[in-house]
Amino acid sequence: MDLGLADAAVVVSGGTKGMGRAAAACFAAEGARVAVLARTPDVLDETVAELRHLGAADAVALRADLTDRAAVEAAFAEVGERWGELHVLVNAAGPVDVGIARFDDLDDEEWLATFDIGAMSAVRCVRAALPLLRAAAWARIVNVSAHSTKRQSAEIVAYTAAKAAMTSLSKNLSLSLAPEGILVNTVSPGSFLSEGMRGYLRALPPERHADPDSLTDAMRIMVEDFGHPAQLPRAGDPSEIGPVIAFVGSRINTYMTGANINVDGGSDFC
């Protein structure tokens, strides 16, 4: 199936690791121009090399911290100078390591930090990207939220609230941008063995027996710590969600907007 992405201009925030990187790889394999936005220079460079190898017509590293408005604006200004248009914006950056605590254990600073990366990061990217999306012949926005917004856990309150804000933003944007033909959708992952998840598993004490490369251990720990089971008895690999994000962000998605798509191994039915 041709996704109609050849030469499309794509920005993936958080595109250097985990699910964002898996999505960036899919766009590259379709011959899109792909910019990945993240903070760590050597990982950015290594990702860009891989994207070129996979078939990206052009691949760019955008180094920016999404909690820094000026840095985000500068990154999209660079995209504007290079491409003058943007067909697809994927907001897939963190959080993965903030806001994971019970209500009694979080202070204002932790709440604000969680919302900064969990919701405001997408606000900043959409604001900076909109003139470029409007300049393109067709445009899509894909926001990566979290299935935990639908299945709450008391152990993970601020993270989940920030992701719920992102989901709400996504729905509202789909409404306001529909008249312009810009389609906005949410993809909600369940538990995925990303770099962020590996970091969580590595930080556990040895008696938890959490192999950071094991999909089944990752799922077991998510059930033990957050009560997040799935029908499939394992976490997902990022390569299993990249194609979903690429399709939702593609030119051949012409009638889906305001949707919130679960990619979660069947968590809704547990």
Ligand X SMILES: NC(=O)c1ccc[n+]([C@@H]2O[C@H](COP(=O)([O-])OP(=O)(O)OC[C@H]3O[C@@H](n4cnc5c(N)ncnc54)[C@H](OP(=O)(O)O)[C@@H]3O)[C@@H](O)[C@H]2O)c1
Contact residues: ligand X, CB under 6 A = 14, 16-20, 38-40, 43, 65-67, 92-96, 117, 144, 146, 189, 191-192, 194-197, 238
* Nearest distance, CB of residue 93 and ligand X, angstroms: 4
* Nearest distance, CB of residue 187 and ligand X, angstroms: 9
In 3D space, the residue among 178, 73, 180 whose CA is nearest the CA of residue 136 turns out to be: 180
Integer Rg of the chain from CA: 18
CA atoms of 192 and 22, how far apart (whole Å)? 12
* Nearest distance, CB of residue 24 and ligand X, angstroms: 9
CA atoms of 88 and 62, how far apart (whole Å)? 15
When CB distances to ligand X are compared, the closest residue is 18
* Nearest distance, CB of residue 67 and ligand X, angstroms: 5
Residue nearer to ligand X on the CB measure, 147 or 251? 147
CA atoms of 221 and 85, how far apart (whole Å)? 43
Residue nearer to ligand X on the CB measure, 106 or 136? 106
Residue nearer to ligand X on the CB measure, 194 or 257? 194
Q: Is 136 left (phi over 0), alpha (psi -120 to 50) or beta?
A: beta
The DSSP call for residue 208 is G
Residue nearer to ligand X on the CB measure, 183 or 215? 215
